[in-house]
């Protein structure tokens, strides 16, 4: 299981009311609250040996809204909920969250995450 797939599974029970998805550059609409999780990079950490990986993950927090005046408050609340859920996922650390625009269309927050994963051979 990839780190991004595991993170989606671990966040699922804590993020009710969110649509949890993997990376989708062709996202054509955001309705409701969306958390998009994907792997940005993988590298071998020097201190953990050959059977570990350091994984950098990205997590976009996006919201759909009817009233543009309420958009900022809805987005800030969604970010708070995501950061609160991440506090309960011990194997991943978030470093910062930056306001941005995903796919030149959707305003949101991009949360930067790191994790150390173990390489496990398939049987």
Taking residue 116's Cβ as centre, other Cβ atoms within 10 Å add up to 15
- The per-residue pLDDT for 89 is 95
- The per-residue pLDDT for 122 is 63
- The per-residue pLDDT for 121 is 63
- The per-residue pLDDT for 42 is 87
Beta strands across the sheet bearing 18-21: 18-21, 33-43, 52-63, 106-118, 92-102
Q: Minimal CA–CA distance to 33: which of 99, 103, 106?
A: 106
102: Cα separation from own chain's centroid:
13
Q: Which domains does the chain have, with CATH numbers?
A: 3-118 (3.30.2000.10)
CB-based contact 103:110 (threshold 8 Å):
no
Q: Minimal CA–CA distance to 12: which of 40, 29, 38, 35?
A: 35
Angle, CA of 36, 41 and 46, to the nearest 5°: 135
CA distances, 11 to each of 45, 101, 107, 123 (Å): 25, 23, 22, 27
Each residue's pLDDT, cut to its tens digit, for the chain (123 residues) gives: 788 999 999 999 999 999 999 999 888 889 899 999 999 998 877 766 667 788 999 999 999 876 777 888 999 999 999 999 999 999 999 999 999 999 888 989 999 999 977 666 664
- Distance between CA atoms of residues 21 and 67, nearest Å: 24
């Amino acid at each position: 299981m990839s780190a991004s797939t595991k993170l989606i599974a671990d966040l699922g029970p804590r993020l009710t009311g969110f649509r949890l998805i993997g990376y989708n550059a062709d996202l054509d609409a955001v309705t409701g609250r969306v958390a998009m999780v994907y792997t940005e990079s993988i590298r071998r950490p020097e201190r953990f040996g050959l059977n570990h990986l350091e994984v950098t993950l990205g997590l976009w927090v996006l919201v759909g809204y009817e009233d543009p005046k309420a958009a900022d408050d809805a987005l800030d609340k969604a970010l708070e909920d995501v950061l609160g859920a991440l506090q309960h996922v011990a194997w991943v650390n978030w470093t910062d969250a930056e306001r941005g625009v995903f796919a030149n269309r959707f305003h949101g927050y991009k949360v930067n995450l790191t994790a150390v994963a173990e390489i496990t051979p398939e049987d």
